[in-house]
Structure 1
Amino acid sequence: MSEPTGAEATGRRLGAGAVASLSGVGVLVVFIVQNTQDVRFHFLFLSFTWPMWLYTVVVAVFGALVWFGLGVLRRHRRRKERREERRG
């Protein structure tokens, strides 16, 4: 038999989160490639035109930052609770 190499040797595999993230990025890239027209935005007193792909990237990055930030807050809260349980 041959020796396992790469991910098999260390026992690492792609988790469900990684597969979902890669799938999401793939769908996002397809969406960006298919939507190259310009769109006009009106917000309060602002009015501007952006390419749809740029708007999509900005919204996706903003959403990812919010999602990441919520995870950081959750981990901080749980860590704080565990610290209080050890002291109490």
Structure 2
Amino acid sequence: MAIKAYRSISRDGKRIMTMDEFKQWLKKFDADNDGRISKGELRNAIYETGERFAWWKSRRAIKFADADGSGFIEENEITYLVDFAEKYLGIRVIYI
């Protein structure tokens, strides 16, 4: 399932999503429903965006966004993941 819950494409080619849409999209990949995103779950999400090297980008995203070093992206770390997605995954998250 590719990212379909986006409003439009920006001039620079990024998919535009609201924060709620981003969280809902990410939640679809939480396979064990623990409320956290693991490296494997993130790899699946990145792969579904059509990005190449999903395994490498998921490892990099965890390092980038995992503020407490738990190895998971938790609710309070989502904004760090948004920063990563905007820089490396072609997604722009808007706050409305």
Q: TM-score range by the shorter chain?
A: under 0.3
Which of the pair has more CA radius of gyration? 1
Q: Which has the higher contact order (CA 8 A, sep 6+)?
A: 2
Q: What is the TM-score when the length of structure 2 is the normalising length? A: 0.23
